[in-house]
Amino acid sequence: MASANNSDIALITGASAGIGRAFAQALAPQCSSMILVARDAEKLSRVAESLAGVDCEVHCIAVDLCKPLGVAEVMEAIRQKGPVTILINNAGFTTDNALVDSDLDAELEMLSLHCQASVSLCRGALPYMQELGRGRVINVASMAGLIPMKGAAVYGASKAFLVAFSQSLAKENHRHGIAVQCLCPGYTHSDFHGREALTGFDKRSIPEAYWSNAEDVVAASLAAFSQTPPPTLLVPGEHNKQWVREEQERQRAALEAMP
């Protein structure tokens, strides 16, 4: 898959901070325009201002993708400001409770954002990519979609959905010149863990070796497209890869031990 070029148009959700912002900063010099989506209009404006010296037209859309109207507005932007050739479904959040102690509305909104919004935007962008004969889709999942974690049942399940969804999309669209990547980062320094729902989470409880910077995660994601063929499932960071391998081995051993 060829690298981005200045005729590309990128759409990035969750673009106001963290991994989404890092994607915007990395791709802006290589795109003719970008559509940046997030809930916080002020933060989006600051990202756009940081890109002012780059020859790339930036469109900001401040909407809540948990809501059907928000998704509809971004779908319309795909039609009016496209054709989108790089789609990055990055918007997301998590909770930190056992399901029986959780806010059901928050869990259902998480499913809407991670699953329904991602499916909708892929459905909106892929026909244009197929017509052009090229494109890239990055669905940002998580290691939680590969490793079961307490307190993250719905979050992990929604990210596991993105893993399976991306793998199927890759098979469906390879012949059209479209590469699909499911990016599964581990713990990443960003605003993600500063949300109110995670006030009980102590970042110091996770060894520093397991933490990554958003810029490093994005660099690994984009570099992977230079491989032939590009990997559909990408876990950045050697410690994270080893963690996933060990968990998958435990799961295999458990299956083999079943009567």
Q: What is the pLDDT of residues 173-208, one digit of tens each?
A: 999 999 999 999 998 877 654 555 555 556 666 777
Contact of 122 with 44, CB cutoff 8 Å:
no
Distance CA 73, CA 77 (A): 6
Residue 231 DSSP one-character state: P
Catalytic residue among 128, 155, 187, 210: 155
Has residue 18 been placed in a domain?
yes
Band of residue 230 on the pLDDT scale cut at 50, 70, 90: very high
Has residue 232 been placed in a domain?
yes
- The lowest-confidence range among 3-7, 198-202, 234-238 is 198-202
Band of residue 38 on the pLDDT scale cut at 50, 70, 90: very high
Structure tokens at 79: 């039609």
Has residue 3 been placed in a domain?
no
Question: Does the annotation mark 155 as catalytic?
Answer: yes
Q: Which domain holds residue 218?
A: 8-256
The rounded percent of the chain whose pLDDT value lies above 90 is 79
Q: Domain holding 64: CATH number?
A: 3.40.50.720
Rounded to 5°, angle at Cα 123 from 126 and 153: 120
pLDDT of residue 205: 61
Give 42's Cβ-side CA count (13 Å radius).
0
Has residue 130 been placed in a domain?
yes
What amino acid is encoded at 56 in this protein?
A: C
* Residue 103 vs residue 3, higher pLDDT: 103
Distance CA 173, CA 165 (A): 12
DSSP code string of 44-60: HHHHHHHTTTSS-EEEE
Residue 2 DSSP one-character state: P
Has residue 1 been placed in a domain?
no
Specify the number of domains making up the chain.
Answer: 1
Element counts in the chain: helices (H) and strands (E): 8, 9
pLDDT of residue 4: 57
Has residue 39 been placed in a domain?
yes
- The lowest-confidence range among 53-62, 79-88, 92-101 is 92-101
